[in-house]
């Protein structure tokens, strides 16, 4: 069976879905790997490194994809008139496609996979069970995004993060507030602490308090009772009511007066991200403060943030809206993502090197979007239970 890896062509994307390490492992599994020339260029994986690991190098995407039984992608393929290149057109009927396919945001594309006879898997729909942890691309990428968000903030910040006592005077430690203490937020806290900042954090889920405190940051509680019911069975946050949001804003506004940098990471699966910082709240920050909106592509946590831009407010606060933060650290993000996909592939490929789609496996069932020309995922089929739909992103 042939596995194809191609260059990612969507805006802001620098990652690639395989690494020399995972190519070697796929070859050991009895798979043939074909990589488009330049596929790993932005992640510093040269064609030579892929070839040494056992891949053959195809001159272009059409050649690589046309031969493939399995296609590994980071982003969903370009379709129709989205760009100069229609990647889906090159895939043969019956090919398996695995990637971060964003099924709820782009349902029409899922229909297109079905019509093209593609068997598509959305890796972000993995259930959060122990067995799936090695495949959990949302976590591997969010972790790096949280790290990079702090470095981007430090870069835009005109001051230092650590306290420094020098002969010329003392520099005060920066005060960082992290909103949303999931995977990205916890890494942001750890990174800001390592840089010497004084860190506080807030989250709607009660479980976050202990995790935040274990990293040496202060937890800001909005409503203890509400926090206890804010977590879904899957470990994600629920959308909070108006009253909670109002109280959260009041509480955070008090903190903003003493804050230099805010990192916002809050997401609600399948929904628009909650607004955590209104324009009035951003105005509470001192000139020179920096806000990072990691949720900018999901609608944004910060009023005034713009995808792919650094906006400076009239008061001189910078709002960083970089798209696809994980891809700004493309080597490690690709290494980890490639490993996630490799681990997922072990579910789809039998010991004989042949494809085996086992619908009794809950990981396969949860991630499979289309099969035999039909959309089959319960999160996308209207008659499915609402719970299943809410857990998709």
**Least distance to ligand NAD from the beta carbon of 121, Å?**
18
Which residue among 6, 16, 144, 183 contacts ligand NAD (CB under 6 A)? 183
Segment contacting ligand NAD by CB under 6 A, of 71-79, 91-99, 157-165, 260-268:
260-268
The active-site residue, picked from 113, 147, 236, 337, is: 236
User: Known catalytic residue: 133?
Assistant: yes
Q: At which residue do the structure tokens 């996308």 appear?
A: 380
293 binds ligand NAD (CB under 6 A): no
Segment contacting ligand NAD by CB under 6 A, of 94-102, 204-212, 309-317, 377-385:
204-212
The active-site residue, picked from 19, 109, 139, 305, is: 139
The active-site residue, picked from 44, 56, 115, 133, is: 133
Which residue among 236, 327, 363, 375 contacts ligand NAD (CB under 6 A)? 236
Q: How far is CA 360 from CA 364, 371, 373, in A?
A: 8, 15, 20
Residues paired with residue 166 on neighbouring β-strands, in sequence order: 169
Q: How far apart are CA 209 and CA 227, in angstroms?
A: 10
Query: In the range 115-134, which residues lie near ligand NAD by CB under 6 A?
Result: 128, 133
Residue count at the site for ligand NAD (CB under 6 A)? 30
Closest by alpha carbon to 333, among 53, 100, 97, 88?
A: 100
Q: How far apart are CA 101 and CA 106, in angstroms?
A: 8
267 binds ligand NAD (CB under 6 A): yes
Closest residue to ligand NAD in the complex (CB) = 182
Nearer to ligand NAD, 4 or 319 (CB): 319
Q: Which residues contact 199 (CB under 8 A, 6 or more apart)?
A: 175, 176, 177, 178, 189, 192, 193, 215, 216, 217, 218
Nearer to ligand NAD, 92 or 238 (CB): 238
179 binds ligand NAD (CB under 6 A): yes
204 binds ligand NAD (CB under 6 A): yes
181 binds ligand NAD (CB under 6 A): yes
274 binds ligand NAD (CB under 6 A): yes
139 binds ligand NAD (CB under 6 A): yes
- Chain centroid to Cα 122, Å, comes to 13
- Chain centroid to Cα 31, Å, comes to 28
Segment contacting ligand NAD by CB under 6 A, of 38-46, 69-77, 153-161, 196-204:
196-204
User: Known catalytic residue: 139?
Assistant: yes
Task: Determine if residue 44 is left, alpha or beta; phi over 0 gives left, psi from -120 to 50 gives alpha, anything else beta.
Answer: left
Query: Length of the chain in residues, anyone?
Result: 393
Residue 107's SS3 state is helix
DSSP string covering 339-392: HHHHHHHHHHB-TTS-B---TTSHHHHHHEEEETTEE--TTTSTTS-HHHHHT-
User: Known catalytic residue: 260?
Assistant: no
Catalytic residues: 128, 133, 136, 139, 236
- Residues in contact with ligand NAD by CB under 6 A are 128, 133, 136, 138-139, 142, 179-185, 202-205, 207-208, 235-237, 240, 265-269, 274, 276
């Amino acid at each position: 069976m042939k596995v194809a890896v191609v260059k990612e062509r969507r805006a802001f994307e620098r990652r690639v879905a395989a690494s020399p390490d995972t190519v070697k492992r796929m070859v050991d599994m009895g798979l043939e790997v074909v990589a488009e020339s330049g596929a790993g260029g932005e992640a510093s994986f040269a064609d030579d490194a892929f070839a040494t690991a056992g891949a053959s190098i195809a001159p272009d995407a059409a050649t690589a994809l046309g031969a493939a039984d399995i296609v590994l992608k980071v982003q969903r393929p370009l379709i129709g008139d989205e760009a100069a290149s229609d990647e889906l057109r090159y895939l043969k009927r019956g090919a398996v496609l695995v990637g971060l396919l964003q099924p709820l945001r782009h349902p029409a594309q899922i229909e297109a996979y079905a019509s093209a006879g593609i068997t598509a898997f959305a890796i972000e729909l993995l259930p959060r069970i122990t067995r799936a942890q090695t495949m959990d691309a949302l976590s591997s990428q969010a972790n790096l995004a949280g790290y990079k968000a702090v470095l981007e903030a430090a870069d835009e910040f005109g001051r230092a993060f650590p306290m420094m006592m020098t002969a010329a005077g003392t520099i005060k430690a920066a005060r960082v507030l992290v909103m949303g203490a999931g995977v990205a937020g916890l890494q942001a806290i750890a990174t800001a602490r390592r840089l010497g900042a004084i860190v506080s954090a807030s989250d709607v889920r009660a479980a976050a308090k202990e995790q935040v405190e274990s990293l040496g940051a202060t937890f800001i509680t909005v409503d203890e009772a509400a926090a206890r019911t804010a977590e879904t069975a899957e470990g994600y946050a629920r959308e909070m009511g108006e009253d909670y949001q109002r109280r959260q804003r009041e509480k955070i506004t008090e903190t903003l007066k003493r804050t230099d940098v805010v990192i916002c990471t809050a997401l609600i699966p399948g929904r628009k991200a909650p607004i955590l910082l209104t324009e009035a709240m951003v105005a509470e920050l001192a000139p020179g403060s920096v806000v990072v909106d990691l949720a900018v592509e999901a609608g944004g946590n910060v009023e005034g943030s713009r995808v792919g831009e650094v906006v400076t407010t009239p008061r001189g606060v910078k709002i960083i809206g970089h798209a696809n933060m994980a891809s700004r650290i493309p080597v490690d993000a690709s290494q980890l993502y490639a490993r996630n996909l490799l681990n997922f592939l072990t579910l789809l490929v039998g010991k004989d090197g042949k494809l085996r789609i086992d619908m009794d496996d809950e990981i396969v069932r949860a991630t499979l979007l289309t099969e035999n020309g039909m959309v089959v995922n319960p999160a996308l089929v209207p008659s499915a239970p609402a719970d299943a739909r809410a857990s998709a992103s």
